[in-house]
Amino acid sequence: MKLDSAGLQILDRDECLALLGTAPIGRVVFTDRALPAVQPVNYTLDGGSIVIRTGLGSKLAVAARNAVVAFEADAFDPAQRTGWSVTAVGHARAVTDPREIERLSRLPLDTWAPGSRDHYIVIRPERISGRRINRPGDF
């Protein structure tokens, strides 16, 4: 097991993807009018890609189209002082192919926000990293 300089466990790509598959909410970081913006989103994994549903004209849909974005998800147990965080960076693309939209619509991806969410964004992680904090003695 590899540890970083702060004593956190460094996660490999497979561990990062496995953990991403367990969290219902993540945060996507994109550029909005030349400034960084962060938006919480429901998501799911499709193979090694992150899939998000949003509204066609949403700020996220417009800003993330063919742009480099960051995505982060995490889970923490404050009582146990344990947790993990995974960050992925990659190009986001708007899905326009009707066959792919149909396939993605069958994924287990229910949005919490009200309104129509029939636009899909897929992020293919090009870089992915993660850290886990364990209770002392759990290493």
Between 4 and 64, the more confident residue is 4
Q: Which two tokens stand for residue 119?
A: 């636009």
Sign of CA dihedral 24, 29, 31, 36: positive
Q: What is the distance in angstroms between the CA of the first residue and the CA of the last residue of the chain? A: 8
In Å, how far are 9, 10, 19, 122 from 135, measured between CA atoms?
11, 15, 18, 35
Encode pLDDT of 22-62 as tens digits. Answer: 998 999 999 888 899 999 999 999 999 999 998 877 777 77
Domains of the chain as residue ranges with CATH: 9-131 (2.30.110.10)
Report the half-sphere exposure of 104 (CA within 13 A, side-chain side): 24
Q: Which two tokens stand for residue 55?
A: 């509204």
Single pTM value for the model: 0.89
